[in-house]
């Protein structure tokens, strides 16, 4: 019985650690990303922010049919901007030398 309790406790700790790390903001640079690459939850609300001190960044969000859903140009040190709900198969293109954070 003691072994089962220890195994259950370890399993529980492992699951809590994974859940906590999945909610961490992601820092991205110029490039092409898919929702699968970023492990974004479908239908959840996500925010995007330019964290660069001097660089402008443009972000383009495409749906699975390659139709532009959102085009944003973020100023340096921008406020958080709410993205529309992202579905499976969406793609994000980041243009510019800055860094953005998606959370």
What percent of the chain is modeled with pLDDT above 70?
78
Instruction: Report the distance separating Cα 20 and Cα 7, nearest Å.
Output: 20
Residue ranges of domains in the chain? 26-102
For residue 76, pLDDT beyond 90:
yes
The pLDDT value given to residue 21: 45
The pLDDT value given to residue 95: 92
pTM of the model: 0.71
DSSP track, 5-60:
HHHHHHHHHHHHHHHHHHTS-EEE-SEEEEHHHHTPPTT---EEEE--SS--EEEE
For residue 14, pLDDT beyond 70:
no
Name the residue with higher pLDDT: 76 or 7. Answer: 76
The pLDDT value given to residue 19: 46
Name the residue with higher pLDDT: 3 or 70. Answer: 70
């Amino acid at each position: 019985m003691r072994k089962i309790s220890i195994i259950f406790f370890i399993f529980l700790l492992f699951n809590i650690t994974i859940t906590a790390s999945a909610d961490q903001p992601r820092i991205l640079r110029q490039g092409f990303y898919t929702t699968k690459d970023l492990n974004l939850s479908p239908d959840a609300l996500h925010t995007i922010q330019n964290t660069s001190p001097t660089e402008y960044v443009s972000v383009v969000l495409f749906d699975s049919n390659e139709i532009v859903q959102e085009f944003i140009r973020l100023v340096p040190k921008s406020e958080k901007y709410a993205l529309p709900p992202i579905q499976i198969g969406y793609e994000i293109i980041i243009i510019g030398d800055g860094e953005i954070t998606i959370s």
